[in-house]
Structures are given as C-alpha cells and as structure tokens.
Structure 1
Amino acid sequence: MDFAIPTDLQDLSARIGGFVRDEIIPLEKDPRWGSHGPSEDFRLELVSRARAKGLLASHVPVEFGGLGLGHFGRAIAFEAAGYSMLGPVALHCAAPDEGNMHLMAEVADQRQKERWLRPLASGESRSCFAMTEPMGAGSDPSLLQTVAEPVAGGYRISGRKWLITGAEDARFVIIMARLSSGERAGAATMFLADMDQPEIVLERQLDSMDSSFTGGHWVMRFDNLFVPEEDVLGAVGEGFRYAQVRLAPARLTHCMRWLGSAVRAQDIARDYATRRTAFGKTLAEHEGIGFMLADNDMDIHTARLAIWHAAWVLDQGHKGNMESSRAKVICSEAVWRVADRCVQILGGLGLTRDTVVERIFRDVRAFRVYDGPSEVHRWSLARRIAGGRG
C-alpha cells in the first residue's frame, strides 16, 4: 500500500486550503448565509472568487473547464474545501450540483452536455435532482409515484417531490419518474427540464435543521409537464441504474466535504482547550477533555481511510456500492461524534454562534439521514455479507 499523496494533489490541497482560510472563512458571518443556505447572489460572489484563483469545479472533465480529478483527487480537494461549509459552495463542488455534473458527464449526450452541463460546470447556473417524494421514493426508490405518460413527441410528467435541495433559483432539474404505460411501463426514467416553466411549481420551502445548501430544500410538483424525447437523460427505463451512477460517488463526496468540517471543528476545540484554564491547568491537560480530542483524532483518521479506500475502488472502475455505503455510515457517524464532542469541549461557547462549531453540529446531524440513512446502508451491507458478496 502507498498512502503518499501525489505532489500535484498536495499542491492543490494547499492552494484550496489557503483560499478557504484567506477568502472564505472571513465571510462566514455574512448575513446572506441564512437559515436556508447562502443566497444566490452570495453564491455567485463566492464562485467568482474561486474562479479567479483557478479552483472552480476541479472535478469536472477538462473539456468543460475542470481539472478532471478522479475520486481520490476529489477526496483530497473536497476535504480541503470543506474546512469551511462555504468552501464547497465557492468551489462549486457542493451538492446537488456536484453529483449532477458527475451524472451528466457519464450519461448525457453531447447536445445535453452543451445545453445544461457546460453552464452548470462554469458556475453560471445551478441544478436540482428530483427523486425523493413525501410518501414514495426516498430510501426505497422502488416506491416512486411520479409518473411520465408517453405522448406524441415526448412525455407528460405529473407528481410531487419533496426535500429537493437547491430548487429555488435552479436553472434546470433532473426528474426521476416511472413510465405509466408502454413497453417499459413502471420502469424509472430520468428527464431533463428547465425550471422556468409554469408546470413546475415550488409549493413551499421546508424549515430544516441544516443551513449549508444554496436554495434550501423544497416541496415541488409537476403539473402535466411536457418533456420532449430528446430531453430524456440516458436510455428510457434505466433511471435506477443511472441513480447508482450518481449516488454511489455522490454519497462519498458528501463524506469528503464533511470530513473537512470535522477537521475544522477539531482545530477550534483543540485551540480552545489549550488556551482555556480551569482548576489549575488547561482544559487539554484534564483527562476528560484530552480523551475527547484523542477520540476525535481517531474518528477523523478512520473516516479518512474509509473515504480513500472507497475512492480508490471507484478509480479502479468498480461500482463501489458496498464501499461507498460502508464509508457513508462510518463517516456520517464519525463526523457527528466529532462535532458533538467539540461542542462539549467548548462548553457554553459551543452552544453559541461565536464559533462555527454550533452550525457544523446542526448540519452534520442531517447527514446521517440524507443519501441513505445509516440503517438502510447497514441493511444493504448485511444482505451482501449474508449473501457472501462482502
């Protein structure tokens, strides 16, 4: 095994780290970062800063302006970006856009790439991914209720979605719907659609505990939306297969970004514990606090190794479903423990917004739910293990 990080990735990580510390962290108190995430005008300002440094969307294929980083390269770059929760927004590698860019690079035809992927990759536009439903598709996508009716020249889509991240101000949406009739009746299919159509209705913005995703989370519906045949993403009836193309890497990139936030929380807690005194010595010298810092270090290290291994598997051309599920559970729970301990180490300070730890604490709790709850991933892993596929 060779755990050495290539020099070019070390240099990229250092550049991203310096950019985040010098230009992004000072903006964390900007009022445009509200309870539903950064506003669109704030996002565009952040993106322009990253673009000026040549750091925008490094994961995107070179032909669309990125560096074409592989999955291990993303692990290094995205952790550095995640040191501030605004970092991935600035570098345009945040969800859901990062996952949508990866999916379209793999599945879209050339016309679709030029129409939707190119402006998305440049940071000019945003997107959303509409699969989750209020009483249907979520952890179990087979419960998909949104339907696409084949009609002359295309499809008519009807249904309701919820928890659709970034729907507000998104330029386009990738819709998952099942065919209502025809040879592939019941099969899931992905569709591309511009958001500025009256048949796409944003019903309400959800109040959620997390606040780092631009545009927040929405309930939206499709009222007999017409999508022409040429805007089917990939092949008809292959929606679930393409979902795995998107979701396995996307859940891993969530891990990468949140690992950076865990490192940030640990740094804040460590610095505080080495300066604050109580009962005749610094907090770090008290065994109870020192042990929490040590546990944080072990959780961060374990999560990083799980991410790197899953990234390596994907870079070898394997699907990596089991590895990404494993990493998702390990990382989401490890990062949560780190944030929780850091709040405890900071004491009263940790309950306030005088540091970013309180915000990290709230946001990372949601990560144990989205992109598959821990319980679903454990169930999936158990089935593979019991079936001899581990």
Structure 2
Amino acid sequence: MSLHILSDADVRSVLASVDKTALNKLCDTLGAALYAYSNQGEKEYQCHRQGVTRPGGSTMLFMPATLADGSSVKVVGVPPPAPADVGPDYVPKAITGVVMISDADGRATGVLNAAALTAFRTSLGAIILYRYRLVTKDIVVFGAGKQAQWHLYLSLVLRRPDISSITIVNRSAARAESLITELHTMGGSPADLAHIKFTVVAPTDTATVKAAVQQADVIYCTTPSTEPVFPADWVDSDVGRKKSRFISAIGSYKLDMQEIDPALLRAVATDKTYPEAYFPGAVGINTNGGVILVDSRDACAAEAGELVNAGIPESHILETGELLKLQEDMAENAKKQSYLTQWLARGNVIYKSVGIGIMDLCIGRALLKMGADKSIGTTIPSF
C-alpha cells in the first residue's frame, strides 16, 4: 500500500488549480459525506473531538472520523489567545496540524498538512449553500485570516461576475489589505477582479460597518469573537428586513464565543412573521418559524455559543445533510420543491458550523487523489 504525502505548499498548489467545475465536484463530495452523516447512520460512528490545553495556553485538538470506506485523525495545535493589550497590527500565530487518512482496513493511505485543508473544507461547508443564492452582489466578511480568504476566494471562483463589492471588517487594516492582494493573485490575474470594489473598515467605524451590513447580500463571519460582530437590529428592523441575506458563521467554536447575535437567531428561527420564514411550515418541517442550518446538530449544541445562548429548539435546527435529503424527497413534489428552492435562493439563510471530522476525511482524501493525479506531493511506494 502506497502512502501519499502533501505538504502545506503541496495542498495550496492543489487548491490553486480548483476551478468552478472542480469546486462544484468538491461541494458534492462534502455534501455526500454530510448526507451519510445525517441520514445513513454514520453519525453514531463518530467520536467527538478532544482538546487538551497546556499550562502555557496552547491547545491540542484531536479530531477522529470514520466513514464506510476509511478513517482519519487530525491533530491541530491552536496557539494561546492573543494578549489583551495587542495593537491593531498584531498578527496571531497560525493554527497548525496534520491529517492522517487510512482505508477501511486501517492501512495508512495519505498524510496532509492541516492548515490550508482546514480552512478550505470549513469554507466549503458554507459554499455548498452559497451556490444556491440568487443575488450575491455585495459581500461583507468579518475577519481577514485564512477562513476569510477561502470564503471569499471560493465565492469568486463560483460567482465572480455577479459580485460588485467586498467589504472586509478587521482590526488590522494592513492584514485586510494583504488579504485583498492575495485574492488578486490566487488563481487569476488582477484584471479579473477589476470590476469589484474592495473596502477595508475598522470594527470601530460603526456607521460604515452598519451601512455595509444592511447593504450586504452575503455576510461571512470568520472570527473567534466572544461578542456578536453586529447587533441583530441592524438586519432585523424595518430597514434591515428590506432584503434577505445568506449569513455564514464559522469562526466561533466554544461556548463562550459568539459571532451572531442570539436575538437574530431567535428572530429567524421562531418568528412566524419574519418575511422569509415561510419555508419550514410550507414543506412540513415545522409550523412555528424558520430554521438555522448547521453542519452537525450535536457538535453545535456542544460548541456553538450563539446557538446555545439563543436557546434555539432542536426542531428549528436543520443539518446540511438533512437539507440535502429534503431536496431528494421533494423531487416529485413541484410545489414544495419550489418553496425550498426559493428559500435557499432568496430567503434569510443562516449557517453555523464548528467543523466535524468527516469534513477532513472526505476532502482530505479528495485532495490526495487530485495531488497524485497532478504529480503533486510525495509518494512512498510501500509503507
């Protein structure tokens, strides 16, 4: 059995070759794994990740995963929290790690650096839903790290001509400008983005941030914030409700963290009068409001601070895999399928993710194959 190895540079090289066709295929690959997790009994074969925090503040996370045709273990090192007195140009230490992948018999088949893989697969979970959006003219992203980079880059791969403005809300203007430079050099030429207006805004510039959020068609939250990055009434008000949005929140991963205002989650999930909350009742999920989409109901219940603080009932939380099953079940019901399609394309859709191990397994395996096919990486013939 050969073992294929992808370094961080190798993973980034593979990802740089991802075009619209390849990206849609990877979305389908992740979707199939999430479908199996939610509907085919794979959930019971997953171990919840474990974390150990050392005396110096650094944390080691251990994330195992299994599917019918293989397993994986990811080990990630998370640096200590930033000191309270850091300046606006402070650059936090990078999260590092490794993923080992085995076949169904436990034989190791691949090893990948986890840095780019983790950021990519997390962003891919949001992009599965972003693909449905009808309008994506104005995008706002909170944060300017790797998650922000991949959310924006994958959005550009799919919908570049349809995007007119990207607003980056970040404490460090230098880091945000660096992100813009990176986006101009990833997978294309600067001319490809000439039609897009990039704006950098400090979180303290409340008026400008509020205007951008209310104008946004898509909002990506990618920060480990302990406070909501914007208040609910910015979008849950007479002005805010004039348009619908796709909101993805993937930055917070502990119970003491929250990016989305719990009041907004409650409004979308339980308010029958919310303009785009017709969907769940129309297709028979529930008749008492809307739903919040998640990668894993169990994982978010254990780690998503905003969901827990909002007290969202389980009946108002829908896994991506369950959504995919709904689409399959409604294939012969044109009316219900229309409601579902309209909601995904035009409605207020909120997605919360804390990440689960099968995302590393299925996407890591796909990248290993792409690398081998392109002669990227190192192969040990007999391991």
Q: Which structure's residues are more often helix, by fraction? A: 1
TM bucket, shorter chain = under 0.3
TM-score w.r.t. length of structure 2? 0.26
